[in-house]
Amino acid sequence: MKFIILPIILALSACSLTQPLVKPDLPVPAVFPAASGGESGPRAADLGWRAMFGDPRLQRLIELALANNRDLRLAALNVEAAQAQYGIQRSEQLPKIDGMAGAARQRTPANGPTQAATQTQYSANVALSAFEIDLFGRMQALSDAAFARYLASEQGRRAAQISLVGAVADAYFAERLADEQKQLAMRTLADWRQSLDLARLLKAGQQNSGLDVAQVEGQVASAEADLEARARAHAQAGNALRLLIGAEPPAGLPAPLPLEAQPVATRLPAGLPADLLLRRPDILQAEQQLVAANADIGAARATFFPSLSLTASLGFASPAMRGLFDGGHRAWSFAPQVSLPLFPNGRLRAELRLAELRKSGAVAEYERAIQTAFREVADGLAGRETFGRQIAAQGRTVASAERRADLSAQRYRAGVDGRLELLDAQRQLYAAKQALLDLRRGEFDNAVALYKALGGGLIDH
């Protein structure tokens, strides 16, 4: 009958000292700067990364990275660990019931008129171990905190996936840039070596001076040094890509597309700043960390109040195994216990203060995540509005440098200009072409950054 008290106590243990969480106001402007109106199309977060990156080779590399990357694997393991921790904490709210059976044999020595005796005791019972009745919501608050941290770890895994997709795309475009710059350096070096051979022939025929040959030799040596730098950059970009995908790229991958023909979506609708709160996993992760910190404060407050624990058992005890389960051998115990902290020497107040400080830190982290997201989107929008015009202008620069180089070559052959003018025109053309490649890669980098900033990179259509 006394076990009827247990449901009553449980029904009374609904009091909670965890205050409702009030989120801070958005610490960012209401609109993004440089965002053009009237945009249409799917949200970036709803745009699958296959649709964002149309290069088949890049798609295969992203697949490999999602399957093999160690950082993403660690993030997934952290989610499982947080889920297990939540299960452990959740189990603390439920009573622990154990079934036990045993036998004890004991001999007592003779003592005066009392003769020595041997006794045997058999027992079988069900025991409720020390179970804390959650009168003030401490156990529930700890469970809520563990659950929020589990949700935060899941959002962390999603954020890690977005970062990984973007990092693979960045590394791939870096490798493509380094390869195309190396190819341009090789073609330029071959042309300048031909110019050097021609200059030496003219020198042998006494049609120019040794100064012309020295100038071309310096130009060729500079191109050779630049080619080595481009080859090094290409090798390092390939190493970075292999690290991200977690394996050596397999044979049979689709051929890479040149930068100029990359089918990358560079015009992404930005939406509103409030959308980031629902789309960015890192913001959702910071929010769940804030929820956990708020629950920790409730748990710390509950420690100032009395705690009630319950220990009970019900079973049978008998000196003979045959009659162990007879009604007369029934045994039970019921031991509630109340404890109240009297002199904790400031420990409880310090723990509460620590929980409050951690919540303040979680608020700052939450606001910083929002501000960082806003800045990243704003930077991406600024790049989106300017890269196209800059690339067009650089294309005109290349065309102008090509015309100058052609005219300089004609004037040099006609004897109107010297070799120095031709060398300067050729160097300017080479630098303009390299800068155009850098800008094209920069446009893709900006598109990838904006795609990640808007929460894209999770969906695989």
DSSP for 349-399?
A: HHHHHHHHHHHHHHHHHHHHHHHHHHHHHHHHHHHHHHHHHHHHHHHHHHH
Q: SS3 of 316, please?
A: strand
Q: What is the mean pLDDT of the chain?
A: 84
Task: Read off the pLDDT band of 184 (50, 70, 90).
Answer: very high
Q: pLDDT confidence of 42, banded at 50, 70, 90?
A: low
Residue 233's pLDDT band (cuts 50, 70, 90) = very high
Residue 255 has what pLDDT? 92
Rounded Cα–Cα distance for residues 101 and 396 (Å): 91
Confidence of residue 415 (pLDDT cuts 50, 70, 90): confident
Q: Which of 61-75, 101-115, 230-244, 337-351 has the lowest mean pLDDT?
A: 101-115
- pLDDT band for 13, please (50, 70, 90 cuts): low
Percent of the chain topping pLDDT 90: 37
- The burial class, CB within 10 Å (0-12 / 13-18 / 19+), for 115 is exposed
Contact 146, 85 (CB under 8 A): yes
Calpha distance 118→105 (Å, rounded):
7
What pLDDT was estimated at residue 283?
Answer: 92
Predicted pLDDT of residue 438: 93
Confidence tier at 413 by pLDDT (50, 70, 90): confident
Two tokens, residue 356:
């409050």
Predicted pLDDT at 12: 47
Q: Would strands 117-133 and 97-108 be described as parallel, antiparallel, or unpaired?
A: antiparallel
pTM of the model: 0.81
User: Quick check: 5 pLDDT over 60?
Assistant: no
In the numeric block, the tokens 């162990």 are attached to 324
Q: How far is CA 397 from CA 123, 185, 400, 402, 410, in A?
A: 96, 18, 5, 9, 20
pLDDT digits (tens, 9 = 90+) for 138-165: 888 888 899 999 999 999 999 999 999 9
Residue 405: its H or E element: helix 347-413
pLDDT tens digits along 234-247: 999 999 999 999 88
Distance CA 68, CA 78 (A): 16
Write out the H or E segment, with its range, that includes residue 150.
Answer: helix 138-204
- Listed range (33-42, 48-57, 65-74, 142-151) with the worst mean pLDDT: 33-42
CA 234/CA 181 separation, integer angstroms: 9
How far is residue 379 from each of residues 27, 166, 245, 394, measured CA to CA in Å?
17, 16, 27, 21
Please say if the pLDDT value at position 53 is more than 90: yes
118: left (phi over 0), alpha (psi -120 to 50) or beta: beta
Assign residue 181 a region (left: φ > 0; alpha: ψ between -120 and 50; beta: otherwise). alpha
pLDDT at 431 over 80: yes
Q: Are 136 and 14 in contact (CB under 8 A)?
A: no
| Assigned token pair, 342 | 């009297």
Q: How many C-beta neighbours within 10 Å does residue 143 have?
A: 22
Residue 139: what pLDDT? 85
Whether residue 3 is predicted with pLDDT greater than 60 in this model: the reply is no
The pLDDT assigned to 458 comes to 87
- CA-to-CA dists, residue 129 to 95, 104, 309, angstroms: 7, 21, 9
Q: Cα–Cα distance between 58 and 60 in angstroms, integer?
A: 5
| Residue 374 pLDDT > 50 | yes
Residue 40: pLDDT above 90? no
Q: Regarding predicted confidence, which is higher, 326 or 456?
A: 456
Kindly tell me if the per-residue pLDDT of 9 is higher than 80: no
Say how far apart CA 252 and CA 213 lie, in whole Å.
Answer: 46
Structure confidence at residue 26 as a pLDDT band (50, 70, 90): confident
* Mean pLDDT, residues 276-296 taken together: 89
Among 90-94, 108-112, 352-356, the least confident range: 108-112
Token look-up 């020198």 returns 203
What's residue 230's pLDDT?
Answer: 92
pLDDT of 41 = 57
Q: What is the dihedral of CA 73, 77, 80, 85, to 10 degrees?
A: -160
Please say if the pLDDT value at position 36 is more than 60. no
pLDDT band at 15 (very low <50, low <70, confident <90, very high): low
